Amino acid sequence: MSAFLEVKNLSVVFPTDDGRVQAVDSLSFSVEKGKTLGIVGESGSGKSVTSLAILGLQKGTRAEVTGEIWVDGKEIVSATESEVRKLRGKAMSMIFQDALAALHPYYTVGHQIAEAYLVHNNVSKKQAFARAIEMLDRVGIPEPQKRVNDYPHQFSGGMRQRAMIAMALSCNPSLLIADEPTTALDVTVQAQILELLRDLQKEFGTAIILITHDLGVVAETADDILLMYAGKQIEYGTVRDVLQVPQHPYAWGLLTSIPRLTGDPNLPLTAIQGAPPSMISVPSGCAFHPRCNYVEKADVCATRVPELVAIESGKSHSVRCHMDSELRQRIFSTQVKPQL
Amino acid sequence: MSELDSPILSVRGLTKHFPGGRQGFFGKHEIVQAVDGISFDVSQGEALGLVGESGCGKSTTGRLITRLLEPTAGTVVFEGQDISHFSNTQMRPIRSDLQMIFQDPYASLNPRHTVGTIVSTPFRINKITPEGGVKKRVQEILEIVGLNPEHYNRYPHEFSGGQRQRIGIARALALRPKLIVADEPVSALDVSIQAQIINLMKDLQKDFGLTFVFIAHDLAVVRHFAQRVAVMYLGNIVEIADRDTLYATPKHPYTKALLSAVPEADPDAVGARERIRLTGDVPNPINPPSGCRFRTRCWKAAEICATQPPALIQIGTSQVACHFPE
Amino acid sequence: MLKYTLRRIVSGTLVLGIVSAIVFSIFYILPSDPARLACGKSCTPDLVARIQVALELDQSLPVQYGRFIKGIFVGRTYLANTDAARECGAPCLGYSYQTDQPVTLLLMDRLPATLSIAVGASILWLLIGLSSGILSALRRGTWIDRTSQGFALAAASLQIYFVGLILQFIFVDKLAWLPMPGYTSPFDYPLDWAKQMVLPWVTLAFLLSAIYSRLTRSGMIETMGEDFVRTARAKGLSSRDINIKHVLRAAMTPIVTVFGLDLGSLLGGAVITEYVFNIPGLGKLATEAVTNLDLPVVTGTVLFAAFFIITANIVVDLLYSVLDPKVRLS
């Protein structure tokens, strides 16, 4: 069965005054309907650039996008702007981190939802407005008939994100890209929004790409995880694979460094040394090698980019690391696992 | 902490009201009740965590303690001195003992000053010349916080986010303060950097016997840093207890809900934990609910909750402000 | 909203009162003797004394000011220096020393010319400024953008008397395509009116449209980087809808503000333009009055200009609250 979204060898390069910045480097993944892929990475890892590429939003800019993105049987990279425009908001849509900035301050929430519905459906303004009320109701906004006439700044943070979701889902898209949808929200509201996304996914069978830096959020929401570092996917697999038997030293570092609600809080956290590289000066070879505690063959790690290799043949779980698998298993079970 | 120790910081009935917008033509100014009558003590050498969601007043509390703001009512007693209404001149000798670390390492460092200038500012302002000269002392501090002392002449933009937060910490440490208020010190940092900063601050606390008030919204982060934790909601403290008690047996419904909302990076824990979903958002602090301020989102709320604000009472080793504690 | 409007009108009136008090005091504290000025050429000491009484200059300054204000609202009676008392109906701003006509009448007489310049020029500069600004923003970095912004930069650094005189030299003196600028009533001779107004319009519009072009361009480019524009694209809107409904709508707000203030101050008298083209408007009246030390007329024109500027401010603020819902509700 072919997946609803299939990305093959996606690369995005920005020509800048400081040289060519490879924001995304040969990414391949797929998402099926009703499933959620979590794309996880720190700032500058290329996760947001990836999402914009899927929506074809870099068309008309200086960005050079190569590879293939298949959405519902249509290829995005080679398509024209007007072809992609017909898919945006209808076949695929997106919600953003900062809903206050992502909504137009001068139009009512209802107007903005109706507008999204109106572009892709041959309906009257009145019908589109009715749809806006229906969607607001569906995402749990109380008194939708009244609130539909409010402006974004009159909504609370959680309600604004609900309104964004209502807008994104108004045309029943098969793919929803959520870029850090809960990062700006309080935990109790974050929990509400994640639950809403899960419910809506169950109801409409939407494929979701969840972009986040928060491993807790992916653990709760995603089926698969794509871990990105400096524009490359360095580990890919199911949530259980990546969070419970992680294979890449970066994944180990992330998982042992995050403070948790369980375990001994008196032990120091195992921090990853250094800082994520800037896009302009990505280290040679394996981009993670300057921060890696397990560099075994220093010359290889520093010069050669490791291939993405499946952990077990036939399984999706794959990793981009020079370490040989036996050593990796040994380090994982003796040093990493006890800390998880 | 023994009860005999007199606390280094003692806060009683602390209140801060901000004027809001005006209502109508001749209307009164609305009042934002940012902090409303909170009391707590901090002992020498301990780290008190202050957690809560946006609008709970935790940052305002931090600014009141360090007297960047003047309280509307209540007292802040630091080392036996009531500093609640001290003037800037009166505060000057105390400033060196009372330092603050901010959330945004980008905004809180002057981009036109070198690291050396930034970290040595406290010496200049307070006209203090440390032994061996300012530069030597500053370089020592830079080394302590894990920066290269040779970076003395560099500018903030040459550093990464984590390193900038180290500069902020170095500045706070310069005058060997007794109490540091850290306001969301790691929330602007990348995940892989947060642990570095938490570990650094923990080491500093141990090595220099520093006392911390650690303000954060992230319960897991607070758990790794603070020995005692106060949970705030809409300007009130709803629960205060030592860390292990609070995280293992939360007594206030809000604490319980807050803990259950934290997403855990463990797929097996996802289904296993008890879930409490609060409905709605935090109400507007201009017009907080009567009685218990949490009642509008609380599943245990009864009539009494609307009429009587619950007092902070001792239950076991915890103090809880709830009519129906767990 | 109504309360807000009322409050603004009350405070606007207050400001006008303060302006009038200051202007009044400055002019009447001046060392020159108003009675001597009003007396004219064939003057005797006896006449000066009578004028002093007639103009009530023997009274204290607050009393004079009080009567002046009363005159504006209910009218006043002047003791004439020659014949019987003169009745000056509200709004009374006194009589010109120079021509002995009521100042109010003079102002009303000059208003149509100024109004013609301001309205015509503003339509022109809005059209040119907005369209070239929008075009520049949409075609950023192309030759269209560079040309129009180059023009804008050049125009913004030119002066009205320079451009005005050159245009007049070319189109009136050399080519004789246009008549000498001046003012005829548009109701009587609409074609002549338009022909005479073309040069003032074009000159003013040329300079101001430069500012509006740059303002529109930078506003639109700034807005294009906003998150909500990305959202609009993600919705699948056409670029036309995005540019007009989302980008331009947001970029318009500051332009409206500047426009209101520009128009307001222009209505008070396009001083340089009127002077250069010799058009009998309020600005010309003001310059004439200042040269002749015709104090009542100076006071009148200053108050009139202040009135327009304050009104424009109020209108802009009200308009702003219509354009920006955040202002409307707080």
**Min Cα–Cα distance to chain B from C10, Å:** 12
Residue A96 CA: distances (Å) to CA of A99, A184, C34, C198: 6, 10, 70, 52
ipTM above 0.85, yes or no: yes
In B51-80, the residues whose Cβ lies within 8 Å of chain C are none
- Interacting residues of B243 by C-beta distance below 8 A, sequence separation 6+: A265, B49, B223, B226, B227, B228, B229
Q: Sign of dihedral through CA atoms A321, A325, A329, A331? A: negative
Closest by CA to B224, choosing from A289, C234, A94, A269, is: A269
- Nearest-CB residue to B267 (from A42, A219, A272): A219
Chain C: residue whose CA lies nearest to A150: C325
Contact between A92 and A56 under an 8 Å Cβ cutoff? The reply is no
Q: Count the alpha carbons within 13 Å of B82 in the hemisphere toward its beta carbon.
A: 8
Peptide bond before residue C91 is cis, with ω within 30 degrees of 0: yes
A261 neighbourhood in chain B, CB within 8 Å = 219-220, 223, 247, 259, 262, 264
In this complex, do B194 and A259 lie within 8 Å of one another by their Cβ atoms? yes
* Separation between Cα atoms, residue C318 and residue A232, nearest integer Å: 53
Cβ burial C262-292 (10 Å sphere, 16+ → b, else e):
bbbbbbbbbbbbbbbbebbbbbbbbbbbeee
B224 neighbourhood in chain A, CB within 8 Å = 259, 265, 269
* Separation between Cα atoms, residue A196 and residue A137, nearest integer Å: 12
Count of pairs with CB atoms under 8 A, one residue in B, one in C: 5
For the stretch C221-241, pLDDT in tens is 999 999 999 999 999 999 999
**Sheet containing A92-95, strands listed edge to edge, beginning at the edge strand earlier in sequence:** A92-95, A175-179, A207-212, A36-40, A224-229, A232-238, A318-320, A308-310
Across C253-266, average pLDDT? 88
In this complex, do B25 and C7 lie within 8 Å of one another by their Cβ atoms? yes
Tokens read off for C51: 């004028």
In this complex, do C3 and B24 lie within 8 Å of one another by their Cβ atoms? yes
- Which pLDDT score is estimated for C58? 74
| DSSP 8-state secondary structure symbol assigned to residue A337 | G
* Separation between Cα atoms, residue B225 and residue B212, nearest integer Å: 9
In this complex, do C235 and A119 lie within 8 Å of one another by their Cβ atoms? yes
% of chain C exceeding 90 in pLDDT? 21
* Separation between Cα atoms, residue C226 and residue A106, nearest integer Å: 13
- Which pLDDT score is estimated for B2? 43
**Min Cα–Cα distance to chain C from B23, Å:** 9
Q: Count the alpha carbons within 13 Å of B121 in the hemisphere toward its beta carbon.
A: 15
B277 neighbourhood in chain A, CB within 8 Å = 191-192, 195
Contact between C149 and C136 under an 8 Å Cβ cutoff? The reply is yes
- Which pLDDT score is estimated for C328? 63
Q: Does B21 contact C at CB distance below 8 Å?
A: yes
B25 neighbourhood in chain C, CB within 8 Å = 3, 6-7
Count of pairs with CB atoms under 8 A, one residue in A, one in B: 139
B263 neighbourhood in chain A, CB within 8 Å = 190-191, 194, 214, 216-217, 219-220
**Which partners does chain C have (≥3 C-beta pairs < 8 Å)?**
A, B
Interface test with B, best of A258, A337, A340 (most B CBs within 10 A): A258
Contact between A104 and A152 under an 8 Å Cβ cutoff? The reply is yes
Chain B: residue whose CA lies nearest to A340: B266
* Separation between Cα atoms, residue B238 and residue B293, nearest integer Å: 10
Burial class (CB in 10 A: 0-12, 13-18, 19+), B221: buried
C227 neighbourhood in chain A, CB within 8 Å = 96, 98, 101-102
- Which pLDDT score is estimated for C221? 93
- Interacting residues of C252 by C-beta distance below 8 A, sequence separation 6+: C219, C323
Closest by CA to C103, choosing from C303, C270, C291, is: C303
Helix (H) or strand (E) holding A163: helix A157-169
Pairing of strands A64-71, A5-16: antiparallel
Pairing of strands B228-233, B47-51: parallel
Weakest-pLDDT range from A8-17, A43-52, C209-218, C318-327: C318-327
For the stretch C101-153, pLDDT in tens is 888 889 998 998 899 999 999 999 999 999 999 999 998 888 999 998 888 88
Burial class (CB in 10 A: 0-12, 13-18, 19+), C222: middle
**Min Cα–Cα distance to chain B from A172, Å:** 25
Q: Amino acid identity of A86?
A: K
* Separation between Cα atoms, residue A255 and residue A317, nearest integer Å: 17
Residue B247 CA: distances (Å) to CA of B237, B240, B242: 16, 11, 9
Chain C: residue whose CA lies nearest to B25: C3
Q: Count the alpha carbons within 13 Å of C41 in the hemisphere toward its beta carbon.
A: 1
- Nearest-CB residue to A216 (from B262, B277, B278): B262
Tokens read off for A64: 């050079």
- Which pLDDT score is estimated for B23? 52
**Min Cα–Cα distance to chain B from A28, Å:** 24
* Separation between Cα atoms, residue A311 and residue A251, nearest integer Å: 15
Closest by CA to B208, choosing from B183, B181, B178, B185, is: B178
- Which pLDDT score is estimated for A200? 93
- Nearest-CB residue to C233 (from A57, A167, A168): A57
- Nearest-CB residue to A187 (from B262, B265, B281): B262
Chain A: residue whose CA lies nearest to B55: A186
Q: Does C174 contact B at CB distance below 8 Å?
A: no
- Which pLDDT score is estimated for A208? 96
| DSSP 8-state secondary structure symbol assigned to residue A73 | T
Closest by CA to C232, choosing from A305, A232, A102, A26, is: A102
3-state class of A189 per DSSP?
A: helix
Chain C: residue whose CA lies nearest to A121: C236
For the stretch B108-166, pLDDT in tens is 888 899 999 999 988 888 788 888 888 888 998 998 898 888 888 999 888 888 889 99
- Which pLDDT score is estimated for C272? 84
- Interacting residues of A338 by C-beta distance below 8 A, sequence separation 6+: none
How many other β-carbons are positioned within 10 Å of the β-carbon of residue C199? Answer: 24
C243 neighbourhood in chain A, CB within 8 Å = none
B258 neighbourhood in chain A, CB within 8 Å = 187-188
- Which pLDDT score is estimated for B272? 72
Contact between A152 and A105 under an 8 Å Cβ cutoff? The reply is yes
Chain B: residue whose CA lies nearest to A190: B261
B21 neighbourhood in chain C, CB within 8 Å = 330
Count of pairs with CB atoms under 8 A, one residue in A, one in C: 75
In this complex, do A105 and C246 lie within 8 Å of one another by their Cβ atoms? no
Contact between A151 and A105 under an 8 Å Cβ cutoff? The reply is yes
Low-confidence ranges of chain A (pLDDT < 50): 1
Closest by CA to A104, choosing from A144, A56, A163, is: A163
Low-confidence ranges of chain B (pLDDT < 70): 1-5, 21-29
- Nearest-CB residue to A96 (from C231, C241, C249): C231
Contact between A139 and A193 under an 8 Å Cβ cutoff? The reply is no
Closest by CA to C221, choosing from C327, C137, C315, is: C137
- Which pLDDT score is estimated for B104? 77
Chain B: residue whose CA lies nearest to A261: B220
A234 neighbourhood in chain B, CB within 8 Å = none
Interface test with A, best of C221, C230, C233 (most A CBs within 10 A): C233
Angle at B261 between CA B256 and CA B265, to 5 degrees: 125
* Separation between Cα atoms, residue C283 and residue A70, nearest integer Å: 68
Q: Does B56 contact A at CB distance below 8 Å?
A: no
* Separation between Cα atoms, residue B112 and residue B97, nearest integer Å: 26
* Separation between Cα atoms, residue C55 and residue C66, nearest integer Å: 14
A86 neighbourhood in chain C, CB within 8 Å = 236
B24 neighbourhood in chain C, CB within 8 Å = 3
Give this prediction's pTM: 0.85
A219 neighbourhood in chain B, CB within 8 Å = 263-267, 269-270
In this complex, do B21 and C7 lie within 8 Å of one another by their Cβ atoms? no
